[in-house]
Structure 1
Amino acid sequence: MTVSIERPVGLGLDPRTPLPPRIIGVGTAASGTTYTQQEVLDAFGITDPKVTSVFANSAIDTRHLTLPEPNEEGIRAPEAQGDLLDKHKAVAVEMGADALRACLKRAGAELSDLRHLCVVTTTGFLAPGLSAHLIRELGIDRHCSRSDIVGMGCNAGLNALGVVAGWATAHPGELAAVVCTEACSAAYVMDDTMRTAVVNSLFGDGAGAVALVAGSRPDETAPAPQGPTVLKFASCLIPEAIDAMRYDWDREQDRFSFFLDPQIPYVVGAHAEIVVDRLLEGTGLRRSDIDHWLVHSGGKKVIDAVIVNLGLTRHDLRHTVGVLRDYGNVSSGSFLFSYERLLDEQVAKPGEFGVLMTMGPGSTLETALVQW
């Protein structure tokens, strides 16, 4: 059954142009081994009370991680940067393939239907990128166009969605997919510093995939695909906080490592209202008109800051909170884990609106407005 969508004032579309794309499928995956926070501390051999308190107060119960195997003495030796890159390739491809299969199954589509594949990652670098490896791994048509978004961080899933939404609109009726696959275990530094503690207490391996198809023109007879329509995007860069979240070379460890400024949750929270108001500008909508909020599981303090600054409730962000609890921060695909949980609830009704929100290095907030 095709759902007829009524658009708010300011979002009417020229009947001569294709309808905007709809999200018709989502899928997620994680790496094979699950750890509790205490098990991660034990694996790293960390007993410092200051560090353990960071883990204990993270609002995370479990995460999926791919840690080095312990030697005969039970010690997990730090991995060389080359080994970490190998891990990124193997884990990211495996999770990405699983997430894409699950996404297309939910969409009622086959790999052979795919016409554009965009892959997002920050936890490693390859040339050719992960998109080429996934096409080979899954036997996707060699003529499938592809793109890779590398190094943008936790916000990048919505950056990719915006780009691929444009591709789908320009190719009505053709299937496109975004795969966010983050082997965060391949970006770990194993030491007992507070800089490392913040990162090692938070991130987990995970991948999310989303499928898009743009509908046909109103005067055409082909039915529009089911799923929420992607209506609008809005971004906010915070240039003065460009170094607050970064993934750069750690000269002491002789490898790449993440850095998160302790103040970043409050900086991001303070700008959440700005970017959401920009997203809703000209639509006739207010924040109170948004029925579903799907926010990046950036961490407990980030979630709390978004709730306070947008005047939301814990129930509004229940999926975000649940994903953080069960998976930790899986970087660019986190919001897709929340979206999948919303779909599984089967509570979204035709005509309702949702806001997707991610945040990451830059510092950046990305948002999208969707309507069922």
Structure 2
Amino acid sequence: MMTVTAPLPHPGLMRTTPPPALESTAMPRILAVGTATPETAYSQRELVEILGIQDPRIAGIYLNSAIERRFLTLPQPDGSGVPPREDTGQLLAKHKTQGIALGTRAVQECLKQAGADLSDVRYLCCVTSTGFLTPGFSALLIRELGLDRHTSRADIVGMGCNAGLNSLNVVSGWARAHPGELALMVCIEACSAAYVFDGTMRTTVVNSLFGDGSAAIAMVAGTEPDAATDQPPTPRVIDFTSCIIPEAVDAMRYDWDSSQRAFSFFLDPDIPYVVGAHARMTVDRLLGRAGLRQSDIAHWLVHSGGKKVIDAVGVNLGLTRYDLRHTTGVLRDYGNLSSGSFLFSYERLLQEGTVRPGEYGVLMTMGPGSTVETALVRW
């Protein structure tokens, strides 16, 4: 676990000349964020015991992951004290049941933070990579929440951990085309519905890393914040950049494992270094298009992909432990939450209360493709 031992100056105070101002009411604002997790949480050591792991190499992966606990939905142990293996049908049912429950709570919390009602929602985009449903979560949540039947919707399925920013780009475009109308994005990841327990090192890495959770954000364009309120500043989304790495297209996969008769995640051991090596060019492109330098960025919200991924991105971008404090904190307390991880970090940044009007932030996600996604925001 990485800790900061001495107070650091606020990033906004490190620059001697002000960055250029980029702002337009046409750019959508992120009004609020809301998150939700299952009720059950397990420490990594508890999971080693619950899963009956005897191999010290496998136990070491759990215990040296920089993760202290994860929220998971596991079946009750059988007579042997070990949770029984769930078949594909049971895993898909878990994906649906937990997804609806978590997504509903995340939306409700988001709207509460935004001071909005369900009746205000005009667009709903749902993101997931931990199962497949038709109709998708957008239709299921519209029914569950009682949203207007004329709510526009989209489902982004199977894009993986980077999908939160791919989808934010879509939602931002809708918001810009419909000024004054409220749009929601909901990342719904019941990662325990994608677990395969076969004792191999391949599945162990996955099973030691991912957790269950959902995160929702509310967006609107064409409006100004209410200056009469005491609410914290809300950021406008300025731009996005993407970098796909075709030569690493098979490095992160979720596909059918015929030996286990189930879908299973695969993570190449070299993926942290591949992603890290492409982080710099992606960020440089994002900042260059806005006429900014890295020293202009006060806040970094990077996907909590795993300790090695975070370290590789941090080294290649020259980020400090302070820059990555929320990224590492979310990994420690939740594990990798796939597409919604960066929104859990965003929620912590808001709760911290350090953001000042006029500051810039970079959001970054990484995932299958292999892909690095970034977004630039300004408060």
User: Do both proteins adopt the same fold according to a TM-score greater than 0.5, normalized to the shorter chain?
Assistant: yes
Alignment counterpart, residue 300 of structure 2, candidates 287, 293, 296? 293
Contact 1:121/1:150 (8 A) holds in 2: yes
- Higher mean displacement: 208-217 or 276-285: 208-217
Matched, 1:165 2:177: no
- Offset, 1:191: 2.0
Aligned to 2:266: 259
Cα distance in 2, alignment partners of residues 169 and 58 from structure 1: 41
Cα distance in 1, alignment partners of residues 285 and 333 from structure 2: 32
Matched, 1:67 2:79: no
Aligned to 2:359: 352
Q: Secondary structure at the match of 2:242?
A: strand
Alignment counterpart, residue 134 of structure 2, candidates 127, 131, 140? 127
Cα distance in 2, alignment partners of residues 323 and 76 from structure 1: 26
Contact 2:299/2:361 (8 A) holds in 1: yes
Aligned to 1:3: none
- Offset, 1:189: 0.3
Matched, 1:56 2:68: no
Alignment counterpart, residue 31 of structure 2, candidates 2, 24, 43? 24
Cα distance in 2, alignment partners of residues 279 and 313 from structure 1: 20
Alignment counterpart, residue 213 of structure 1, candidates 208, 220, 238? 220
- Partner amino acid, structure 2, of 1:211: A
Matched, 1:183 2:161: no
Deviations 1:65-115 (A, max 9, x none): 111111223232211101100000000111111111111111110111000
Deviations 1:315-348 (A, max 9, x none): 1010000000000000000000000000001110
Cα distance in 2, alignment partners of residues 12 and 80 from structure 1: 51
- Offset, 1:38: 1.4
Structure 2 vs 1, CA of residues 243 and 71 (structure 1 numbering), >3 Å: closer, same or farther?
same
- Partner amino acid, structure 2, of 1:280: L
Contact 1:187/1:257 (8 A) holds in 2: yes
Deviations 1:21-43 (A, max 9, x none): 00001011111110011111222
Q: Secondary structure at the match of 1:291?
A: strand
Q: TM-score, normalised by structure 2?
A: 0.92
Aligned to 1:140: 147
- Offset, 1:7: 8.3
Matched, 1:245 2:257: no
- Offset, 1:182: 0.2
Cα distance in 2, alignment partners of residues 177 and 309 from structure 1: 33
Aligned to 2:161: 154
Aligned to 1:322: 329
- Partner amino acid, structure 1, of 2:349: L
Cα distance in 2, alignment partners of residues 145 and 8 from structure 1: 36
Cα distance in 1, alignment partners of residues 148 and 187 from structure 2: 20
**Number of residue pairs aligned between Structure 1 and Structure 2:** 359
1:99-138 matched pairs, under 5 angstroms: 99-138=106-145
- Partner amino acid, structure 2, of 1:167: W
Which 5+ residue runs of structure 1 have no aligned equivalent? Answer: 1-5, 218-222
- Partner amino acid, structure 2, of 1:8: P
Q: Secondary structure at the match of 2:290?
A: coil
- Offset, 1:288: 1.2
- Partner amino acid, structure 2, of 1:82: G
Which 5+ residue runs of structure 2 have no aligned equivalent? Answer: 1-17
Contact 2:130/2:190 (8 A) holds in 1: yes
Kindly report the root-mean-square deviation, in angstroms, between the aligned alpha carbons of the 2 structures.
1.9
Aligned to 2:200: 193
User: Which 4+ runs in 1 deviate beyond 2 A?
Assistant: 6-9
Q: Secondary structure at the match of 1:103?
A: helix
Contact 2:23/2:378 (8 A) holds in 1: no
- Partner amino acid, structure 1, of 2:83: R
Matched, 1:306 2:313: yes
Counting aligned pairs with the same residue, the percent is 67
Contact 1:178/1:211 (8 A) holds in 2: yes
Cα distance in 2, alignment partners of residues 27 and 75 from structure 1: 34
Alignment counterpart, residue 284 of structure 2, candidates 267, 277, 282? 277
Cα distance in 2, alignment partners of residues 175 and 288 from structure 1: 33
Q: TM-score, normalised by structure 1?
A: 0.93
Cα distance in 2, alignment partners of residues 201 and 70 from structure 1: 18
Contact 1:22/1:226 (8 A) holds in 2: no
